Amino acid sequence: MEDFLAGINEIDGLGAKFLTRYHGVEVDNDKEATLQRLEPKHKQAVEEMGFRWEQCWRAEQVHGAEVAMVSAADVRIGNGIIPGVDGLITQDRGEVLGIYVADCGAIYLADKVTGAIGLLHSGKKGTELEILAEALRRMNDEYGTEPENVVVALAPCIRPPAYEVDFANDIKRQAERLGIQEENFTDCGICTSSDLDSYYSYRVEQGSTGRMLALLGRYE
């Protein structure tokens, strides 16, 4: 299933994973409690990638379009969760970005030239607010990233007919408009509602669900 991340994992010094459903972990409507139960599994996956959990930054995810830059020099507070943002970018080695999803789309960004990376939470609202455009703008401002050098991957997310808005297709159209090369854009094409044995779906499970975790890091 992680074939959609092949283009990013082929870039020297980068590692990307998409953590799916874990059976045997209790889930309910309390998101924070569920994430606490999932955390040991997520920590293990980060360590298997070759990083430490303490190197993993996550976004608070408020269904907005704010993007934060993180670096090795930043002091981690709140378990590495950056408040008020739905996207993270970095160019520093030894840093891992994380985004939780359960129907919304996780967008991976990797600059083949500068080594900069980004990870975004983009559901209906974030896509409408064009968080992808904001992330590319910030990466250009901070790292000199040019869209034609960026590899983009879209993780499993909810899609029609299970959901009335095709935000996955909107993300692809935005990427094209922003200058992402067609050969550098990969959409896994998977709907999270279609396979509850493999994925969590907030809509299908009516909120009583877990969270997948998208991970993207740059090795030291």
Cα–Cα dist 192/200, whole Å:
7
Q: What total of structural domains would you count in the chain?
A: 1
Q: Any idea which of 9-23, 61-75, 103-117, 179-193 has the lowest mean pLDDT?
A: 61-75
Mean pLDDT of the chain: 96
What pLDDT sits at residue 72?
A: 83
Mean pLDDT to the nearest integer, 156-184: 98
CATH number, domain with residue 199: 3.60.140.10
pLDDT digits (tens, 9 = 90+) for 73-109: 787 776 899 999 999 999 999 999 999 999 999 999 9
| Residues 175-202, mean pLDDT to the nearest whole number | 97
Q: Give the dihedral of Cα atoms 82, 44, 19, 104; nearest 10 deg.
A: -20
pLDDT tens digit sequence for 112-134: 999 999 999 999 999 999 999 99
Residue appearing with tokens 């279609």: 194
> What pLDDT, in 10s, does the model give residues 9-21?
999 999 999 999 9
What whole-number distance in Å separates Cα of residue 158 and Cα of residue 43?
26
1 pLDDT above the threshold of 70:
no
Q: What is the pLDDT of residue 69?
A: 96
Query: Using an 8 Å Cβ cutoff, are 109 and 86 in contact?
Result: no
Kindly state the average pLDDT of the residues 42-48: 97
Inter-residue contact 210 to 90 (CB < 8 Å): no
Residue 32 has pLDDT above 60, yes or no: yes
The radius of gyration of the chain's CA atoms, rounded to the nearest angstrom, is: 16
Question: Residue 2 above 80 pLDDT?
Answer: no
Beta strands in the chain (DSSP E): 14-19, 56-59, 67-69, 81-82, 87-90, 95-101, 105-111, 117-122, 150-154, 185-187, 212-218
Cβ atoms of 65 and 85 closer than 8 Å:
no
Query: Using an 8 Å Cβ cutoff, are 39 and 80 in contact?
Result: no
Residue 76 DSSP class:
P
Amino acid code (one letter) for 121: H
pLDDT at 116: 98
Residue 19 lies in domain = 2-218
Percent of the residues in the chain that have a pLDDT greater than 90, as a whole number: 95
